[in-house]
Amino acid sequence: MAAKGFNAYKMAREQFDSIADKLELDEGTRELLRTPMREYHFTIPVKMDDGSVKVFQGYRVQHNDARGPCKGGIRFHPQETADTVRALSMWMTWKCAVADIPLGGGKGGVICDPHDLSDREQERLCRGWIRQIAKNIGPVEDIPAPDVMTTAQHMLWMMDEYEHIAGGQYPGVITGKPVGMGGSLGRTEATGFGVIFMVREALKELDIDITSTTASIQGFGNVAQYAAVLFTEYGGKVVNVSCWDQEDGKAYSYYRENGIDLEELRDITDRFGSVDKEKAKKLGYERLSGDDWLKHDVDILIPAALENAITADNVDKISDSVKLIAGGANGPITPEGMDALNKRDLMVIPDFLANAGGVTCSYFEQVQNNTNYYWPREEVIGKLDDKMTSAFYAVMELAKRKKIPLEEAAYMIAISRVVDACRMRGWI
């Protein structure tokens, strides 16, 4: 789903292998954790509005469930691949472990472009996905959630289809549902807010006042928007966001030196995060190339779009003014890119730590579903803040003690926790 020739699964395995060497894991343990436990590939026939039938390719990959039921989103994207889903499922395992929530890693996807589908066609696709995988997911087995280009409405259609098949009420089968239909208050903003909770604590470690900082964000979907919301509330200034332009199939950055206005940009942004270029120009935004988001003289970079955003090929374009990078997306920095950043002595909050707010709040949603008792928004956000802050300092403490980068410390904690669970179960 990124540059041609890029393989997210290869990258995920390389990241794991590097830490496995440092942890001195035996060959059997390595093989268990570098390969998904289960994979499901299936076709989904959908009757289109014009009466024709179109067949879509769907996936669900369950990487590891030693610490609890698998958890992970479902992507709708025209460039989805099996290897991307495999990588994301592995990253979800580490994400749940580093956040210390009792879940494993899974991921799903469909090769499609929702822009080209009517609401009814999208509903049929959602229900078809569930029909193909209903026997292999569930509240105690594997709990899907929204991801790139899927929404709370998609999740509700999926839950409804699952309940028809299972013959009961199972709100905990899926998370990210609408509030009032089993969804949790605070879920929509959880991933973006979680990123900024991490940024806030990292800036404290760097002895930098957040109110004096500027940030450039790649993306303007859910994660990017809510990261910008909270960062602005804390007194920081966002000068750039970027998005995909559906018309010409390219990414563009929207830059304004005195800071973006979130509400005015949201008003000219569609539900897929694409900004209306003509209206943006009238509002004083510069429309730059998609790569320009990382070239600005800012304090903080937040890649919050797709994987493979910072690589060995573009890392030298990052301004010397940048002091902190927080991974809002999954897999936004390649291993080669991370090596280059470490050589520059930049603090980098790895993606699976920085963006763990979403899965943490999904876990909260499932807890509420299981108890049939729903918390007020302030309680959800407070619990999320506590969980994210605790995870950050656990990683920071290890990084300081071993004098290693945050990414390495986060991987060591996460992988060690999964290894311990596998050993206690007697799998290895």
Positions annotated as catalytic residues are: 107
Vertex 212: Cα angle to 210 and 214 (nearest 5)? 85
Torsional class of 138: left (φ above 0), alpha (ψ -120 to 50), beta (otherwise)? left
Interstrand relation of 347-349 and 250-255 (parallel, antiparallel or unpaired): unpaired
* Whole-Å CA distances, 404 to 38, 43, 159, 330, 347: 33, 45, 43, 22, 11
- Cα(385)–Cα(117) distance, rounded to whole angstroms? 37
- The encoded tokens of residue 54 equal 């179109």
Return all residues near 145 (Cβ < 8 A) that are at least 6 apart: 71, 72, 73, 74, 155, 174, 175, 176, 358, 359, 362
Two tokens at 414?
């996460």
The residues pairing with 108 across neighbouring beta strands, listed in sequence order, are 60, 74
409: closest CA among 132, 144, 205, 169? 205
Decide the pairing of beta strands 286-289 and 214-218.
unpaired
341-to-59, 237, 278, 338, 401 alpha-carbon distances in Å:
34, 23, 36, 5, 20
Which residue blocks in 268-405 are alpha helix, DSSP H? 277-282, 335-343, 351-354, 357-371, 377-402
Max Cα separation, the chain?
63
Q: Please state, in angstroms and as integers, the Cα–Cα distance from residue 201 to each residue in 82, 143, 208, 386, following that order.
A: 36, 30, 10, 12
How many angstroms from the chain centroid is the CA of residue 279?
29
Residue 200 · residue 165 · CB < 8 Å: no
